[in-house]
Amino acid sequence: MKNIALIGCGAIGSSVLELLSGDARLQVRWVLVPEASAAIQQTVARLAPQAQILPALPADARPDLLVECAGHSAIEEHVLPALARGIPTVVASIGALSAPGMAERVQAAAEAGQTQVQLLSGAIGGIDALAAARVGGLDSVVYTGRKPPKAWSGTPAEQACDLGALTEAFCIFEGTAREAAQLYPKNANVAATLSLAGLGLDKTMVRLFADPAVDENVHHVEARGAFGAMELTMRGKPLAANPKTSALTVYSVVRAVLNNVASLAI
């Protein structure tokens, strides 16, 4: 049995706990959150009653795997120290690595701890193909993301247009993946993931749309290079508990955890 530490117990974290509960091959022993609200306590008591709810991983705790699904601040607060201690980690908040020097810091911490950090594919597919294509040489990668207007609430898109009055698709952002991830950290993890697998944050081009004609999160990727060309469109259902998050992000986290306990992994 593998012991798991989970960072975050919001919409993603609680859904991950739900899908992992009852699997005899693993046990969530620690749930790391800034504050143990009544809702979090009830969720953990129901799905992982053996787990301790703590603000940080104890110095003497040695989980077999640390699972991050809490947001960008968790990288600095939890992931970097855990990697330096040699704790293998999977990270869902890939957009955090768009901050200057953060990707290098994460890699350095893993090297110092002689361990590995796995960046999850999250809401997008084709990451394996894109990373393989990079070996032969990539010429261009363009990502276009479309979400319902309400999914952009609380972001800079509110200054660009009246989200509630849109009758047709409106481009709220056009630029690099680094800029997109910094301006829309809760919505543009896909752009950051694609860039880290491909051409990098400053050469991956991104367009983001608020589109009243869609009720799903629509991701479109075009890549060209020595391998040929790739075009991928995904229409992801949003997570019921949080329309800013794709349900596939939760499944991506669960897949990564289960691959760590599986005899045959793909």
- Asked whether 197 and 127 are in contact (CB, 8 A), the reply is yes
| Structural domain harbouring 132 | 127-245
Residue 110 and residue 148 in one domain:
no
Q: Which residues are annotated as a binding site for NAD(+)?
A: 123, 189
Question: pLDDT digit string (tens) for 197-220?
Answer: 999 999 999 999 999 999 888 999
pLDDT given at position 125: 94
Rounded to whole angstroms, the Cα distance separating 122 from 172 reads 22
- Residues 60, 26 share a domain: yes
Question: Which residues participate in catalysis according to the annotation?
Answer: 219
Number of domains comprising the chain: 2
Percent of the chain with pLDDT over 90: 83
143 and 214 in a single domain? The answer is yes
Instruction: Tell me, yes or no, whether 9 and 56 share the same domain.
Output: yes
Q: Which of 96, 119, 142 is the last residue of a domain?
A: 119
- Report whether pLDDT(46) > 90: yes
The stretches of the chain forming alpha helices (DSSP H) are 11-20, 38-47, 73-74, 80-84, 102-112, 127-136, 157-160, 177-183, 189-197, 247-259
Residue 14 is predicted with a pLDDT of 95
- What pLDDT does 181 receive? 82
pLDDT computed for residue 237 by the predictor: 86
Question: Which amino acids are annotated as binding site, given as ranges?
Answer: 123, 189
Same domain, 104 and 146: no
260 inside domain = no
What's the CA gap between 7 and 69, in Å, rounded?
Answer: 6
